[in-house]
């Protein structure tokens, strides 16, 4: 008996009991669908994190406000702005590992161009911000030195804001828009960085303080909400971080033993750690989903044992007509493999459908991974071989005479 003949006989046998065959492969279907879905959601989450890491820029440190004490009471992190523009300048001048640094403040406001409007993030910063984040222009230019020091009425738009305010084919450069009734000239449009990054409009830091965010946020003339700094090389990240901490403690006159009023963080490192956690959780969920394959395999073995018992006389006839032990073994092993392959195929289709449904309903990013599909199918085939071998071997060992006596 050839493998092809074995599969043909197996398909015929399974068609005789379609409901039992489906219920038998249900564990395989659930296990494979779960593996494909978990891998799709996990891969999508990792892709999103990788996009965010790339959007931040390489070798970037972020300094944010920490806890402060007021009247002997510890206030929560970020409750008071503790960094200043002079801190930014000191970091640039006194730490050689730093290539560029920029302070920023941010808020939200309505951006208007003619009859179109869009609510977006308004970020007041300097040209150093774009150098730190390796953010290139799609059109136009960055802020000039005069515009930065003189609160120039200029704006650089993220690609999402430019798309929402201007019709396709229109050139935003040189156009006038309004933010909080202040007219601004569009001098640049940024390249895409990702959906979460592109919905922003940048204005000079002095412009933001004097015209938009200063009075609303109680920001004094020198304060910034956060600082980002670009380190020359990855190997210098730890040293640069330590030097920034020492410099700011000295500048802020923080006594020894007292907690810093700022935090220096490596966003990329934090996201990579989160990415590792996502991978660990995904593997754990896959291990749990694999239990369904185990249950499905046990179910297949039980049903195949029952099938051998029901078809003992058939086995005896085949042996009496010249069927060899390996032919009987191949016949029943093919039946187990067909059950697992059909279950795996249905499970893959179900997993893809489920992951797409989850992505659409929850707004998540999913990525259908060919390796995950291949791995799930390999698991299902292995399940058929492992749990189908014993019933097949048992059938092949039946004595033809004893089998023919069976009613």
pLDDT at 271: 62
> How do residues 158-199 score in pLDDT, each as one tens digit?
999 999 999 888 999 999 999 988 999 999 999 998 777 899
228: pLDDT confidence band, cut at 50, 70 and 90?
very high
Q: Please give the Cα distance from 60 to 56 (Å, whole number).
A: 7
Buried b (16+ CB within 10 A) or exposed e, 251-290: bbebeeeeebbbbbebbbeebeeebeebeeebeebbeebb
The pLDDT score that the predictor gives to residue 390 is 80
**Cα 148 to the chain's mean position, in Å?**
37
Write down the pLDDT at residue 177: 95
How confident is the prediction for the chain on average, in pLDDT?
81
Q: Tell me which range, 31-35, 73-77, 241-245, is most confidently predicted by mean pLDDT.
A: 241-245
pLDDT digits (tens, 9 = 90+) for 319-341: 676 777 777 777 778 878 888 88
Dist. CA 42–CA 60, nearest whole Å = 26
pLDDT in tens, 275-319: 666 677 777 777 777 777 777 778 778 877 877 777 777 777 776
Query: Is the CB of residue 122 less than 8 Å from the CB of residue 208?
Result: yes
Using pLDDT thresholds of 50, 70 and 90, give the confidence band for residue 267. confident
Confidence check: pLDDT of 386 > 50: yes
Mean pLDDT: which of 94-98, 253-257, 274-278, 289-293 is highest? 94-98
- pLDDT over 70 for what percent of the chain? 82
Q: Write the CB contacts of 60 (distance below 8 Å, at least 6 apart in sequence).
A: 132, 133, 228, 229, 230, 231, 266, 267, 268
* Per-residue confidence (pLDDT) for residue 217, from 0 to 100: 44
Per residue in 39-85, pLDDT tens?
888 777 777 766 666 666 668 888 988 766 555 545 555 557 788 99
| Highest-pLDDT range among 33-37, 50-54, 202-206, 267-271 | 202-206
% of the chain residues with pLDDT over 90: 29
Evaluate whether 63 touches 49 at the Cβ level (below 8 Å): no
Say what the pLDDT of residue 31 is. Answer: 81
Q: What is the pLDDT of residue 227?
A: 93
What number is the average pLDDT over the span 148-167?
A: 93
**Least confident piece of the model among 171-175, 226-230, 390-394:** 390-394
> For 362-380, how does the pLDDT look when each residue is reduced to its tens digit (9 = 90+)?
777 777 777 778 877 887 8
Specify the higher pLDDT residue, 396 or 83: 83
The reported pLDDT for the residue numbered 143 is 95
d(CA 99, CA 118): 34
């Amino acid at each position: 008996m050839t493998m092809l003949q074995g599969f043909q006989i197996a398909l015929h046998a399974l068609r005789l009991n379609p409901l039992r065959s489906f219920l038998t492969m249900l564990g395989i279907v659930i296990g494979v669908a779960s593996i494909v879905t978990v891998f799709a959601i996990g891969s999508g989450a990792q892709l999103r994190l990788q996009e965010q890491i790339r959007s931040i820029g390489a070798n970037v440190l972020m300094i944010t406000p920490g806890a402060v004490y007021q009247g002997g009471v510890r206030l929560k992190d970020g409750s008071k702005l503790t960094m200043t523009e002079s801190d930014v300048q000191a970091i640039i001048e006194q730490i050689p590992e730093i290539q560029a640094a920029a302070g920023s403040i941010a808020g939200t406001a309505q951006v208007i161009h003619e009859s179109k409007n869009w609510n977006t993030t308004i970020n007041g910063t300097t040209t150093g911000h774009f150098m730190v984040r390796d953010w290139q222009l799609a059109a136009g230019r960055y802020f000039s030195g005069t515009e930065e020091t003189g609160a120039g009425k200029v704006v650089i738009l993220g690609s999402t804001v430019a798309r929402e305010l201007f019709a396709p084919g229109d050139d935003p450069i040189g156009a006038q828009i309004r933010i909080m009734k202040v007219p601004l000239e569009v001098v640049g449009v940024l390249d895409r960085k990702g959906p979460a990054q592109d919905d922003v409009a940048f204005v000079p830091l002095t412009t933001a303080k004097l015209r938009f965010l200063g009075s609303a946020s109680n920001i004094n003339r020198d304060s910034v909400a956060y600082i980002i700094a670009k380190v020359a090389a990855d190997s210098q990240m730890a040293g640069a971080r330590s030097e920034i901490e020492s410099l700011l403690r000295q500048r802020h006159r923080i006594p020894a033993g007292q907690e810093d009023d700022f935090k220096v963080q490596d966003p990329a490192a934090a996201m990579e750690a989160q990415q590792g956690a996502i991978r660990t959780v995904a593997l754990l969920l896959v291990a749990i989903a694999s239990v369904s394959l185990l249950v499905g395999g046990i179910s297949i073995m039980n049903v195949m044992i029952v099938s051998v018992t029901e078809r003992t006389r058939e086995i005896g006839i085949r042996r009496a007509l010249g069927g060899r032990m390996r032919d009987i073994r191949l016949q029943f092993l093919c039946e187990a493999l067909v059950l697992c392959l059909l279950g795996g195929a249905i499970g893959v289709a179900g997993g893809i459908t489920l992951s797409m449904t989850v992505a659409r309903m929850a707004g998540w990013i999913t990525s259908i991974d060919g390796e995950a599909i291949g791995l799930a199918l390999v698991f299902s085939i292995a399940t058929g071989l492992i749990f189908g071998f014993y019933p097949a071997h048992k059938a092949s060992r039946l004595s033809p005479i004893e089998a023919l006596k069976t009613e």
